Structure 1
Amino acid sequence: MKKRTRNVLTAGILTLALAGLTAGCSIGTSKSADEITVVGKNFTEQDIMANLVSEMLEKNTDLKVKTKSYLGGTDVCFSAMKNGSADVYVEYTGTGLVNIMGETVMSDPDAVYQKVKDEFPGKYKIDWLSPIGFNNTYAIAVTQETAQKYNLKTVSDLKAHQGEIVFGTEQEFLDRDDGLKGMKKTYALNFKDVKAMDPGLKYQALTSGDVQAIDAFTTDGRLAKNNLVLLEDDQHFFPPYYAAPIVRSEVLKQHPEVGEVLNKLAGKIDEKQMAELNAAVDVDKKKASDVAARWLEEQGLVKK
């Protein structure tokens, strides 16, 4: 198989990529017919997913695979798919429904998946493959001390103490309808302050007391490490976010083996397993590419 090229973008290059995509440029649309570009968003789980997908395609097809982890947020990755400079990435059903399609929140996981699966090909010429298994939904996390101090068990409990709580979040959650903007409306919350920060700094800010609550992914391995408390989404605000590969329809038509190979990931990773994979990178400081390769070998999905 041809060697995969990994290109993990630095913050400076990301800025240029964002500007280029906004101007209608691409991340490299001039490529051969046997070349596939896999991208990932700018957090650990997506880095692992990008490497899982790339490794599967590299080891099980004759395609040349390029991997671009940490490309950017949803807007950047999806723009790259639409302009053809990216071919595959792992998206989340709730993100597809609310942030990409602009639909209202739905709570039925099967209905959400079916809607994005049915409508993406016609709207965007992009297909959803089978879900990988885990639901990485949003949650609000606080420390044990904060939970005990304010007797916090649900997101609604924050309202009684909102004037004392500084909320920490990354920029994408701040701007999303299924993020802080919508959550504040649903729960009638008005925090003392909101601090936007790099995703990797949220946990440090929380445990050091700089902020009292943060948004978190339920599959984040740092939740257990820091002994954090997840508040119940008692108003059922957050939609389901089941992860699944999405692929440009043209690519599937030219290379049906892409769908056949990636659908072998269907149902293979649950929330607990995904949290363990994330922790291997975030806590144990292993490389996402190594974590992905080892897991695939253990599952018998690729040969050593």
Structure 2
Amino acid sequence: MKNTTYPIGSAGKEWQQSEREQWRNQTSIKRSYQEEVVSKIAALSDRFDVEQYGALSYDTDRYPVFSIRSKDWNAEKPNVLITGGVHGYETSGIHGALEFVNTKMTMYSKNFNIIVVPCVSPWGYETINRWNPLAIDPNRSFYPNSPAEESALLIDLVNKMGDFLVHIDLHETTDTDESEFRPALAARDGLEYIPGTIPDGFYTVGDTEKPQADFQAAVINSVSKVTHIAPADSDNQIIGSPVTQHGVINYPMKKLGLCGGITNCVYSTTTEVYPDSVKVSDEDCNHAQVAAIVGGLEYVLSQSE
């Protein structure tokens, strides 16, 4: 019996190599990583230390991956990691990270060593996809011997950097999560697709093991000055998880292999911008990501006073 909710695969059967190839063959390049992202990274190299930390084997020339570091790295200052584009299709994660570097990073570098990885998954950026070409989700693959190149390269980079105090991972929740990516996930894994709802607004995902409620609240408060915060649904949930405070849910980051668990930092949050809302523009979404970073860093600074 064919899968009735997704055009690839058969109901109740996990995808094999042929289905994964069929999925990849229906993808196409829709925008340019080199023109829209790499060019912006290169333009920052006069003010920050830009380093290529690897390249994806799918096309090493087309998909180099970069980090941007504050200058004068000082062992006396705490380290901050900001990641974007773990899911390459989540546009404001990439461009919000770059906007933060361009407009705010120099100021906060007085107090922190900051490293920004603006686009972890450039193939996903170009094809507007959640997965990599092997139909693997990089944001479920942050663990030793990761099957996702994108995740493995970032793990290697982070492991060389020492301890981190803060990690902010920039994401989006989009309408296509429900129309495309969740049905595809169910089909890939041979499971029944159960429809869900997409929240209208910004929210954050904290770490179940170290939720840092006041830190999350500071991020939400900062973003609320830029865009609206997602309300809980009738079950007091957001995307199926209990709301712990306004605009905040928690996941077990390391257990799920999420990027948010890549370090042993004290303060971590995963941002979720909703770019499909009629209330926001692309610019608003980028500003919301910047506001989230600023809110988090300001809170951490307030704790050291």
Band the TM-score falls in, shorter-chain normalisation: 0.3 to 0.5
Q: Which has the higher contact order (CA 8 A, sep 6+)?
A: 1
Report the TM-score when normalising by structure 2.
0.34
